[in-house]
Amino acid sequence: MPKKSVTAGFATRAIHVGQEPDPSTGAVSPPIFATSTYVQEEIGKHKGYEYARVSNPTRTRLESNLASLEGGIAAPVFASGMAAINAIATLLKSGDHVVCGNNLYGGTPRLFNQVWSNFGLEFTYVDTSDARNVARAIKKNTRMVYVETPTNPLMALTDIRAVVDVTKSKKIDLVVDNTFMSPYFQRPIDLGADLVIHSTTKFLNGHSDGLGGVVVCTRPEQAEKLAFLQKAAGAILSPFECWLILRGVKTLAIRMEQHDKSGRIVADFLSRHKKVKKVFYPGLPDHPQHELALKQMSGFGSMITFETGSLANANKMLRKVRVCSLGESLGGVETLISHPATMTHAAYGEKGRKAIGITDGMVRISVGIENVEDLVADLDQALAAI
Protein backbone atom coordinates (compact mmCIF):
# COMPACT_ATOMS: atom_id res chain seq x y z
CA MET A 1 0.00 0.00 0.00
CA PRO A 2 1.26 3.53 -0.73
CA LYS A 3 2.75 5.82 1.93
CA LYS A 4 -0.71 6.92 3.08
CA SER A 5 -1.04 3.50 4.72
CA VAL A 6 0.08 4.77 8.12
CA THR A 7 -2.88 7.11 8.38
CA ALA A 8 -5.48 4.98 6.57
CA GLY A 9 -8.34 3.53 8.60
CA PHE A 10 -8.32 0.02 10.09
CA ALA A 11 -10.48 -1.70 7.46
CA THR A 12 -8.51 -0.05 4.65
CA ARG A 13 -5.22 -1.27 6.09
CA ALA A 14 -6.63 -4.77 6.66
CA ILE A 15 -7.58 -4.93 2.98
CA HIS A 16 -4.54 -3.19 1.47
CA VAL A 17 -1.37 -3.40 3.60
CA GLY A 18 0.63 -6.39 2.35
CA GLN A 19 -2.30 -7.15 0.05
CA GLU A 20 -1.05 -5.11 -2.93
CA PRO A 21 -1.72 -6.67 -6.37
CA ASP A 22 0.96 -9.05 -7.61
CA PRO A 23 3.42 -6.84 -9.58
CA SER A 24 4.16 -9.52 -12.21
CA THR A 25 0.55 -10.28 -13.22
CA GLY A 26 -1.72 -7.72 -11.56
CA ALA A 27 -3.54 -10.50 -9.67
CA VAL A 28 -5.62 -8.80 -6.97
CA SER A 29 -5.29 -11.70 -4.59
CA PRO A 30 -1.68 -12.17 -3.42
CA PRO A 31 -0.04 -15.34 -4.77
CA ILE A 32 0.78 -18.29 -2.54
CA PHE A 33 4.51 -18.79 -3.07
CA ALA A 34 4.70 -22.55 -2.77
CA THR A 35 8.46 -22.83 -2.97
CA SER A 36 11.17 -24.14 -0.70
CA THR A 37 14.00 -22.16 -2.31
CA TYR A 38 14.77 -19.29 -4.73
CA VAL A 39 17.11 -19.31 -7.69
CA GLN A 40 20.22 -17.10 -7.44
CA GLU A 41 21.88 -15.35 -10.40
CA GLU A 42 25.35 -15.83 -8.95
CA ILE A 43 26.68 -16.55 -5.46
CA GLY A 44 24.89 -14.20 -3.07
CA LYS A 45 22.97 -12.39 -5.84
CA HIS A 46 19.24 -12.86 -5.35
CA LYS A 47 15.99 -10.93 -4.95
CA GLY A 48 16.03 -10.92 -1.15
CA TYR A 49 14.75 -14.45 -0.69
CA GLU A 50 17.09 -17.42 -0.23
CA TYR A 51 15.30 -20.25 1.55
CA ALA A 52 11.66 -20.58 2.65
CA ARG A 53 12.32 -21.24 6.33
CA VAL A 54 14.01 -17.83 6.45
CA SER A 55 11.46 -15.92 4.40
CA ASN A 56 8.65 -16.28 1.91
CA PRO A 57 6.89 -13.46 0.01
CA THR A 58 3.39 -14.58 1.13
CA ARG A 59 4.62 -14.57 4.72
CA THR A 60 6.25 -11.15 4.27
CA ARG A 61 2.88 -9.79 3.14
CA LEU A 62 1.04 -11.21 6.14
CA GLU A 63 3.68 -9.99 8.58
CA SER A 64 3.46 -6.41 7.28
CA ASN A 65 -0.34 -6.53 7.39
CA LEU A 66 -0.50 -7.71 11.02
CA ALA A 67 2.20 -5.27 12.15
CA SER A 68 0.11 -2.46 10.69
CA LEU A 69 -3.14 -3.61 12.35
CA GLU A 70 -1.58 -3.87 15.83
CA GLY A 71 0.58 -0.74 15.45
CA GLY A 72 3.88 -2.64 15.80
CA ILE A 73 7.11 -2.50 13.81
CA ALA A 74 7.19 -6.20 12.84
CA ALA A 75 4.96 -9.23 13.23
CA PRO A 76 6.76 -12.54 12.74
CA VAL A 77 4.30 -15.39 12.29
CA PHE A 78 4.62 -18.91 13.62
CA ALA A 79 3.01 -22.30 13.08
CA SER A 80 0.41 -21.84 15.86
CA GLY A 81 -0.49 -19.55 18.72
CA MET A 82 1.50 -21.82 21.04
CA ALA A 83 4.53 -21.60 18.73
CA ALA A 84 4.27 -17.79 18.99
CA ILE A 85 4.14 -17.96 22.81
CA ASN A 86 7.04 -20.40 22.76
CA ALA A 87 8.98 -17.90 20.63
CA ILE A 88 8.41 -15.22 23.27
CA ALA A 89 9.85 -17.47 25.97
CA THR A 90 13.07 -17.76 23.93
CA LEU A 91 13.61 -14.02 24.41
CA LEU A 92 14.39 -14.85 28.07
CA LYS A 93 17.42 -16.47 29.67
CA SER A 94 17.82 -19.14 32.32
CA GLY A 95 17.29 -17.51 35.72
CA ASP A 96 14.72 -14.98 34.45
CA HIS A 97 11.37 -14.65 36.18
CA VAL A 98 7.98 -14.04 34.56
CA VAL A 99 4.83 -12.77 36.29
CA CYS A 100 1.77 -14.25 34.56
CA GLY A 101 -1.98 -13.89 34.83
CA ASN A 102 -3.46 -16.75 36.85
CA ASN A 103 -6.21 -17.37 34.31
CA LEU A 104 -4.64 -17.94 30.90
CA TYR A 105 -5.50 -20.27 28.06
CA GLY A 106 -4.59 -23.68 29.56
CA GLY A 107 -1.88 -24.42 26.99
CA THR A 108 0.16 -21.40 28.09
CA PRO A 109 0.88 -22.42 31.72
CA ARG A 110 1.32 -26.00 30.44
CA LEU A 111 4.14 -24.76 28.18
CA PHE A 112 5.64 -22.56 30.89
CA ASN A 113 5.44 -25.11 33.73
CA GLN A 114 6.12 -28.35 31.91
CA VAL A 115 8.67 -27.19 29.34
CA TRP A 116 10.31 -23.86 30.13
CA SER A 117 10.64 -24.32 33.86
CA ASN A 118 12.99 -27.24 33.00
CA PHE A 119 15.28 -24.68 31.35
CA GLY A 120 15.62 -22.35 34.33
CA LEU A 121 12.76 -19.92 33.70
CA GLU A 122 10.66 -19.14 36.75
CA PHE A 123 6.94 -18.29 36.67
CA THR A 124 4.62 -16.71 39.25
CA TYR A 125 0.86 -16.61 38.61
CA VAL A 126 -1.23 -13.77 40.07
CA ASP A 127 -4.63 -12.21 39.55
CA THR A 128 -3.63 -9.41 37.18
CA SER A 129 -7.09 -7.82 37.29
CA ASP A 130 -5.53 -5.85 40.16
CA ALA A 131 -2.24 -4.29 38.97
CA ARG A 132 -1.05 -4.15 42.60
CA ASN A 133 -0.76 -7.95 42.53
CA VAL A 134 1.65 -7.61 39.59
CA ALA A 135 3.72 -5.01 41.48
CA ARG A 136 3.89 -7.29 44.55
CA ALA A 137 5.04 -10.31 42.51
CA ILE A 138 7.95 -8.53 40.84
CA LYS A 139 11.40 -9.71 41.89
CA LYS A 140 14.94 -8.64 41.03
CA ASN A 141 15.09 -11.16 38.18
CA THR A 142 11.62 -10.37 36.71
CA ARG A 143 11.98 -9.68 32.99
CA MET A 144 8.45 -10.13 31.68
CA VAL A 145 4.78 -9.80 32.63
CA TYR A 146 2.43 -11.96 30.58
CA VAL A 147 -1.34 -11.33 30.54
CA GLU A 148 -4.49 -12.17 28.62
CA THR A 149 -7.26 -9.60 28.69
CA PRO A 150 -10.09 -10.52 28.76
CA THR A 151 -9.12 -13.86 30.30
CA ASN A 152 -10.19 -17.21 29.02
CA PRO A 153 -12.84 -18.23 30.08
CA LEU A 154 -13.58 -15.97 33.10
CA MET A 155 -13.58 -12.76 31.05
CA ALA A 156 -11.68 -10.80 33.72
CA LEU A 157 -9.84 -7.72 32.46
CA THR A 158 -6.37 -6.44 33.17
CA ASP A 159 -5.88 -2.69 33.11
CA ILE A 160 -3.05 -2.55 30.55
CA ARG A 161 -2.06 1.05 31.36
CA ALA A 162 -1.96 0.31 35.09
CA VAL A 163 0.36 -2.67 34.50
CA VAL A 164 2.52 -0.57 32.15
CA ASP A 165 2.90 1.92 35.04
CA VAL A 166 4.40 -0.94 37.06
CA THR A 167 6.62 -2.48 34.34
CA LYS A 168 7.98 0.45 32.27
CA SER A 169 10.18 2.06 34.92
CA LYS A 170 11.69 -1.35 35.74
CA LYS A 171 12.42 -2.23 32.09
CA ILE A 172 10.17 -5.30 32.30
CA ASP A 173 8.41 -6.28 29.07
CA LEU A 174 4.64 -6.48 29.12
CA VAL A 175 3.25 -9.14 26.77
CA VAL A 176 -0.48 -9.12 26.00
CA ASP A 177 -2.32 -12.03 24.40
CA ASN A 178 -4.90 -10.07 22.40
CA THR A 179 -6.56 -13.10 20.80
CA PHE A 180 -10.06 -12.51 22.25
CA MET A 181 -10.38 -8.88 21.18
CA SER A 182 -8.34 -8.73 17.95
CA PRO A 183 -6.66 -5.43 17.10
CA TYR A 184 -10.05 -4.17 15.94
CA PHE A 185 -11.32 -3.78 19.53
CA GLN A 186 -8.12 -3.51 21.57
CA ARG A 187 -4.69 -2.09 20.77
CA PRO A 188 -2.34 -3.00 23.65
CA ILE A 189 0.70 -1.35 22.01
CA ASP A 190 -1.11 2.02 22.01
CA LEU A 191 -1.58 1.50 25.76
CA GLY A 192 2.13 0.82 26.32
CA ALA A 193 2.53 -2.98 25.90
CA ASP A 194 5.90 -4.17 24.57
CA LEU A 195 4.76 -7.27 22.70
CA VAL A 196 1.39 -8.56 21.53
CA ILE A 197 0.64 -12.13 20.63
CA HIS A 198 -2.32 -13.74 18.89
CA SER A 199 -3.46 -17.17 18.10
CA THR A 200 -4.30 -16.19 14.50
CA THR A 201 -6.29 -19.44 14.47
CA LYS A 202 -9.12 -17.40 16.00
CA PHE A 203 -10.58 -14.02 14.91
CA LEU A 204 -7.72 -12.96 12.60
CA ASN A 205 -8.23 -16.00 10.38
CA GLY A 206 -11.91 -16.01 11.25
CA HIS A 207 -12.96 -19.09 9.31
CA SER A 208 -11.75 -21.99 11.49
CA ASP A 209 -9.62 -23.32 8.64
CA GLY A 210 -6.03 -22.93 9.78
CA LEU A 211 -3.71 -22.70 12.76
CA GLY A 212 -1.27 -19.85 13.24
CA GLY A 213 0.33 -17.43 15.66
CA VAL A 214 1.96 -14.01 15.58
CA VAL A 215 4.20 -11.94 17.84
CA VAL A 216 3.86 -8.21 17.22
CA CYS A 217 7.05 -6.34 18.15
CA THR A 218 7.67 -2.74 19.20
CA ARG A 219 11.48 -2.68 19.15
CA PRO A 220 14.00 -3.63 16.44
CA GLU A 221 15.94 -6.01 18.69
CA GLN A 222 12.78 -8.05 19.39
CA ALA A 223 12.08 -8.26 15.65
CA GLU A 224 15.68 -9.32 14.92
CA LYS A 225 15.71 -12.01 17.61
CA LEU A 226 12.39 -13.45 16.45
CA ALA A 227 13.37 -13.39 12.75
CA PHE A 228 16.51 -15.25 13.79
CA LEU A 229 14.37 -17.73 15.73
CA GLN A 230 12.21 -18.35 12.64
CA LYS A 231 15.40 -19.27 10.77
CA ALA A 232 17.08 -21.13 13.63
CA ALA A 233 14.14 -23.14 15.01
CA GLY A 234 11.88 -23.19 11.95
CA ALA A 235 8.37 -23.18 13.49
CA ILE A 236 7.23 -20.81 10.73
CA LEU A 237 3.77 -20.50 9.18
CA SER A 238 3.34 -22.12 5.76
CA PRO A 239 2.60 -19.90 2.71
CA PHE A 240 -0.88 -21.41 2.34
CA GLU A 241 -1.77 -20.73 5.99
CA CYS A 242 -0.38 -17.19 5.60
CA TRP A 243 -2.63 -16.71 2.62
CA LEU A 244 -5.68 -17.97 4.53
CA ILE A 245 -5.09 -15.27 7.16
CA LEU A 246 -4.46 -12.61 4.50
CA ARG A 247 -7.83 -13.54 3.02
CA GLY A 248 -9.60 -13.78 6.37
CA VAL A 249 -8.26 -10.52 7.73
CA LYS A 250 -9.77 -8.55 4.83
CA THR A 251 -13.16 -8.93 6.54
CA LEU A 252 -11.92 -8.59 10.13
CA ALA A 253 -13.49 -5.17 10.72
CA ILE A 254 -16.92 -6.11 9.47
CA ARG A 255 -16.84 -9.53 11.15
CA MET A 256 -15.86 -8.02 14.51
CA GLU A 257 -18.70 -5.49 14.25
CA GLN A 258 -21.18 -8.33 13.78
CA HIS A 259 -19.54 -10.57 16.44
CA ASP A 260 -19.90 -7.69 18.89
CA LYS A 261 -23.50 -6.88 17.95
CA SER A 262 -24.58 -10.51 18.26
CA GLY A 263 -22.42 -11.05 21.36
CA ARG A 264 -24.29 -8.29 23.19
CA ILE A 265 -27.67 -9.77 22.21
CA VAL A 266 -26.72 -13.31 23.26
CA ALA A 267 -25.19 -12.07 26.57
CA ASP A 268 -28.36 -10.12 27.32
CA PHE A 269 -30.52 -13.17 26.51
CA LEU A 270 -28.41 -15.45 28.73
CA SER A 271 -28.36 -12.95 31.60
CA ARG A 272 -32.18 -12.98 31.68
CA HIS A 273 -32.59 -16.76 31.26
CA LYS A 274 -33.84 -18.50 34.42
CA LYS A 275 -31.68 -21.62 33.86
CA VAL A 276 -28.48 -19.55 33.64
CA LYS A 277 -26.94 -18.78 37.01
CA LYS A 278 -24.28 -16.28 35.98
CA VAL A 279 -22.95 -14.66 32.81
CA PHE A 280 -19.36 -13.46 32.34
CA TYR A 281 -19.25 -10.78 29.62
CA PRO A 282 -17.53 -7.38 29.92
CA GLY A 283 -20.35 -5.73 27.98
CA LEU A 284 -22.89 -6.38 30.73
CA PRO A 285 -23.27 -3.43 33.12
CA ASP A 286 -22.96 -5.79 36.12
CA HIS A 287 -19.52 -7.07 34.99
CA PRO A 288 -17.17 -5.88 37.77
CA GLN A 289 -14.86 -4.22 35.22
CA HIS A 290 -17.47 -2.87 32.81
CA GLU A 291 -16.09 0.67 33.21
CA LEU A 292 -12.56 -0.50 32.35
CA ALA A 293 -13.96 -2.38 29.33
CA LEU A 294 -15.53 0.85 28.08
CA LYS A 295 -12.21 2.67 28.49
CA GLN A 296 -9.78 0.04 27.23
CA MET A 297 -11.70 -1.67 24.42
CA SER A 298 -13.74 -0.20 21.59
CA GLY A 299 -16.14 -3.18 21.61
CA PHE A 300 -16.92 -6.11 23.86
CA GLY A 301 -16.52 -8.90 21.32
CA SER A 302 -18.34 -12.19 21.28
CA MET A 303 -16.74 -14.36 23.94
CA ILE A 304 -19.22 -15.18 26.68
CA THR A 305 -19.03 -17.67 29.55
CA PHE A 306 -22.06 -18.75 31.55
CA GLU A 307 -22.77 -20.96 34.51
CA THR A 308 -25.22 -23.83 34.13
CA GLY A 309 -24.77 -25.13 37.70
CA SER A 310 -23.15 -28.53 37.14
CA LEU A 311 -21.29 -30.78 34.70
CA ALA A 312 -24.53 -32.72 34.16
CA ASN A 313 -26.41 -29.52 33.26
CA ALA A 314 -23.63 -28.39 30.93
CA ASN A 315 -23.66 -31.76 29.19
CA LYS A 316 -27.46 -31.83 28.92
CA MET A 317 -27.52 -28.49 27.10
CA LEU A 318 -24.40 -29.07 25.00
CA ARG A 319 -25.87 -32.31 23.63
CA LYS A 320 -28.89 -30.39 22.38
CA VAL A 321 -27.30 -27.51 20.46
CA ARG A 322 -27.97 -27.60 16.72
CA VAL A 323 -26.85 -24.25 15.22
CA CYS A 324 -23.97 -23.81 17.68
CA SER A 325 -21.17 -26.34 17.17
CA LEU A 326 -19.74 -28.07 20.23
CA GLY A 327 -15.98 -27.94 19.94
CA GLU A 328 -12.77 -26.28 21.11
CA SER A 329 -11.57 -23.02 19.56
CA LEU A 330 -13.22 -19.67 18.96
CA GLY A 331 -13.30 -16.67 16.68
CA GLY A 332 -14.81 -18.31 13.59
CA VAL A 333 -17.81 -17.11 11.62
CA GLU A 334 -19.65 -20.13 13.02
CA THR A 335 -20.75 -20.15 16.65
CA LEU A 336 -18.56 -22.49 18.68
CA ILE A 337 -19.59 -23.62 22.11
CA SER A 338 -17.25 -25.37 24.50
CA HIS A 339 -16.76 -26.75 27.99
CA PRO A 340 -13.62 -25.15 29.51
CA ALA A 341 -13.17 -27.65 32.38
CA THR A 342 -12.75 -30.63 30.04
CA MET A 343 -11.43 -28.84 26.97
CA THR A 344 -9.33 -25.63 26.97
CA HIS A 345 -8.60 -25.75 30.72
CA ALA A 346 -8.25 -29.50 31.29
CA ALA A 347 -4.49 -28.98 31.68
CA TYR A 348 -5.07 -26.86 34.84
CA GLY A 349 -6.30 -29.96 36.70
CA GLU A 350 -9.29 -29.91 39.07
CA LYS A 351 -7.39 -28.14 41.85
CA GLY A 352 -5.97 -25.51 39.53
CA ARG A 353 -9.39 -24.75 38.07
CA LYS A 354 -10.99 -24.52 41.50
CA ALA A 355 -8.29 -22.10 42.68
CA ILE A 356 -9.22 -19.56 40.02
CA GLY A 357 -12.96 -20.20 39.88
CA ILE A 358 -13.47 -22.32 36.75
CA THR A 359 -16.35 -24.68 37.51
CA ASP A 360 -17.59 -27.87 35.84
CA GLY A 361 -20.87 -26.12 35.02
CA MET A 362 -19.29 -23.37 32.94
CA VAL A 363 -19.96 -23.19 29.24
CA ARG A 364 -18.10 -20.82 26.91
CA ILE A 365 -19.56 -19.54 23.71
CA SER A 366 -17.84 -17.81 20.80
CA VAL A 367 -20.77 -16.10 19.13
CA GLY A 368 -20.49 -16.31 15.35
CA ILE A 369 -22.10 -14.19 12.67
CA GLU A 370 -25.11 -16.34 11.83
CA ASN A 371 -28.55 -14.72 12.19
CA VAL A 372 -28.62 -13.93 15.89
CA GLU A 373 -32.32 -14.95 16.26
CA ASP A 374 -31.30 -18.47 15.22
CA LEU A 375 -28.55 -18.54 17.84
CA VAL A 376 -30.87 -17.32 20.60
CA ALA A 377 -33.54 -19.86 19.60
CA ASP A 378 -30.93 -22.64 19.55
CA LEU A 379 -29.59 -21.74 23.01
CA ASP A 380 -33.14 -21.43 24.35
CA GLN A 381 -34.14 -24.91 23.20
CA ALA A 382 -30.84 -26.37 24.44
CA LEU A 383 -31.21 -24.76 27.86
CA ALA A 384 -34.69 -26.29 28.13
CA ALA A 385 -32.94 -29.66 28.53
CA ILE A 386 -31.58 -28.63 31.94
Ligand X SMILES: Cc1ncc(COP(=O)(O)O)c(C=O)c1O
Q: Which residues bind ligand X (CB under 6 A)?
A: 80-82, 105, 107, 148, 152, 177, 179, 199, 201, 211, 213, 344
Helices (H), 17-125: 57-70, 81-89, 107-114
Measure the CA–CA gap between 57 and 353, rounded to whole angstroms. Answer: 43
Report, in Å, the least distance between residue 340 CB and ligand X.
10
CB-wise, 166 or 303, nearer to ligand X?
303
Around 150, how many Cα atoms within 13 Å sit in the side-chain half-sphere? 27
CB-wise, 148 or 260, nearer to ligand X?
148
Report, in Å, the least distance between residue 213 CB and ligand X.
5
What percent of the chain is helix, strand and coil (3-state, nearest 5)? 40, 15, 45
Measure the CA–CA gap between 240 and 56, rounded to whole angstroms. Answer: 11
Q: Rounded to 5 degrees, what are φ and ψ at 286?
A: -90, 5
Around 177, how many Cα atoms within 13 Å sit in the side-chain half-sphere? 29
| Catalytic residue ranges | 53, 105, 177, 202
When CB distances to ligand X are compared, the closest residue is: 81
Measure the CA–CA gap between 379 and 386, rounded to whole angstroms. Answer: 11
CB-wise, 313 or 338, nearer to ligand X?
338
CB-wise, 99 or 104, nearer to ligand X?
104
CB-wise, 64 or 199, nearer to ligand X?
199
For residue 48, give every residue at least 6 positions away whose Cβ sits within 8 Å of its Cβ, in sequence order, or none: 55
Measure the CA–CA gap between 325 and 328, rounded to whole angstroms. Answer: 9
Report, in Å, the least distance between residue 179 CB and ligand X.
4
CB-wise, 33 or 105, nearer to ligand X?
105
Report, in Å, the least distance between residue 199 CB and ligand X.
3
E-assigned strands of the chain? 77-78, 97-101, 122-126, 142-148, 173-177, 195-199, 213-217, 278-280, 303-307, 325-326, 336-338, 362-366
Report, in Å, the least distance between residue 42 CB and ligand X.
41
Report, in Å, the least distance between residue 312 CB and ligand X.
25
**Long-range pairs for 131-139: beta carbons < 8 A, 24 or more residues apart:** 131/158, 131/159, 131/162, 131/163, 131/165, 131/166, 134/99, 134/163, 134/166, 134/167, 135/166, 137/99, 138/99, 138/166, 138/170, 138/172, 139/97
